[in-house]
Structure 1
Amino acid sequence: MSDSPHDAAILAAWLRNAAPWEAAVREQRIESRRLVTDHAIVAAVKEAAPRYVLDLGCGEGWLARALAAEGIAVTGVDAVPALVEAARQQGDGPFHVVAYEQLAAGVPGGPFDTVVCNFALLGEQSVEQVFAALPGLLVAGGRFIVQTLHPLVACGEAPYRDGWREGSWSGIDGDFVDAPPWYFRTLESWVVLFVRYGLALEALCEPVHPATQRPASVILVSKCRRDS
């Protein structure tokens, strides 16, 4: 586990809230996902034309199932056993319990031509662990696709600089408790993170919410610079 108490608090909160989260996703209670971001990440992955995808932080497996329906082979991993079990019950693909600090040892079925993280990069040190593990998870020239909160919108009234923020389950119906903290990164910091770990950005997309006309998320598509 990460040495950071904030990163540890993220995992602890998801362990406690696995059941209400699975229900919220299954019943499509999250408006931004239903209207914008679910379709956006599926489209971004399909655009990369992958054959073997690692859904990193797969949760209850909705994205893996959506991609499998498009004929794409998907392996899902998550650190929360209850969510992995829900994914196994709803889908036929392989799902494994793997924490981010374990990724450096590899994932069954890898390496992959595409790794996707859909709203699954919430920490500080734990996110660095994901990026550091990518060379062992991706084939040469493989793609890493991330969808995350759009920094401009997620910043709110707080100063626009990197740092830990309090979490909230606001806007999601369910018996949630103890929202996890999350580490805010500016758009510049996200780009620097990709470059520092040898990833070449190929695209940056900003899916817009049809009601608010503001970005619902940001999607960063990158390519591993290794040629062999």
Structure 2
Amino acid sequence: MDKPQQSPNDMKIVESWSKNVTQWTLAVRGQHIESRRLVTNRAIIEAILEQSPRSVLDIGCGEGWLLRELASQVPELLGVDAVSSLIDAAKAADGGDFIVATFDELANALNKRQFDVAVCNFSLLGQVSVEHLFVAIPSVLNPAGVLIVQTLHPQVACGDLAYVDGWREGSWDGFDSSFVEPAPWYFRTLESWLALFSNNGLRLLEMREPVHPKTQKPASIIFIGIKDATE
């Protein structure tokens, strides 16, 4: 079967991140991103550890910070990212095993390995690529395995634009001038996020809305879904 074609915007996302590896790695490791430092890093770590997993798959792992945080408490860790330079940075800092693979390549790259928890932490930015990933997710989860997604809260991220699915222009607002060529990203309504779970053999267990202590608005939304036993 031929691999489904990615949209130009989906491909631009990978291209953009490939050009900002050093900048991003410095920002994450230097804790330059306030919302991550104050809210979202802790929120995703807690959501994962509450599942008491023996194995975690970090999809879109970037430079590997999350697996380094989990390394002392989770025996089996694997990070996957489409950007090879980010994987190089992750491997250099240790904290688990890492491989290069796109969302479309994930299931084949894992070669039937399955995990207690798969996590996507602010890594689901595309349209077609994300839809393909959700189709593959049940195959990479153990029975009763859990998918945890943290992403921008739709009601906050929508801004003044219409509350409908669609591509949005990217921006590096809040980052220093070393960041270049921001990628577009695909906006999804809450209804659309829920449909990604229900249409792909995942039953939603919980939604969380971590609140930023300064703005008193949601800094993100976290979806926790379990692999449907009937799938």
Q: TM-score, normalised by structure 2?
A: 0.95
- 3-state SS of 1:100 partner: coil
Q: How far did 1:153 drift?
A: 0.6
Q: Aligned with 1:29: secondary structure?
A: coil
Deviation at 1:2, TM superposition (A): 4.2
Q: CA deviation at 1:132?
A: 0.9
Alignment of 1:116 with 2:119, yes or no, is yes
Percentage identity across paired residues of the two chains: 52
Alpha carbons 1:24, 1:174 under 8 Å: kept: no
1:70 corresponds in structure 2 to: 73
Mapping 1:40-189, distance limit 5 Å: 40-107=43-110, 110-173=113-176, 175-189=178-192
Worse-matched range after superposition: 80-89 or 62-71: 62-71
Gaps of 5+ in 2: none
The answer for unaligned runs of 5 or more in structure 1 is none
Distance 2:115 2:140 in 1: 6
1:38 to 41, 60, 66: 41
Amino acid at match of 2:77: V
Alpha-carbon deviation of 1:92?
A: 4.0
Larger CA deviation: 167-176 vs 104-113? 104-113
Alpha-carbon deviation of 1:48? Answer: 1.2
Q: How many residues align?
A: 228
Matched with 2:18 is 15
Cα separation, 1, equivalents of 2:22 and 2:5: 24
- Separation (CA, whole Å) in 2 of partners of 1:50 and 1:212: 33
- Cα pair 2:138 2:201 within 8 Å, conserved: no
Matched letter for residue 23 of structure 1: L
CA–CA separation in structure 2 for the residues paired with 1:135 and 1:151: 25
SS at match of 2:110: coil
Letter in structure 1 aligned against 2:216: Q
User: Which residue identity does 2:38 align to in structure 1?
Assistant: L
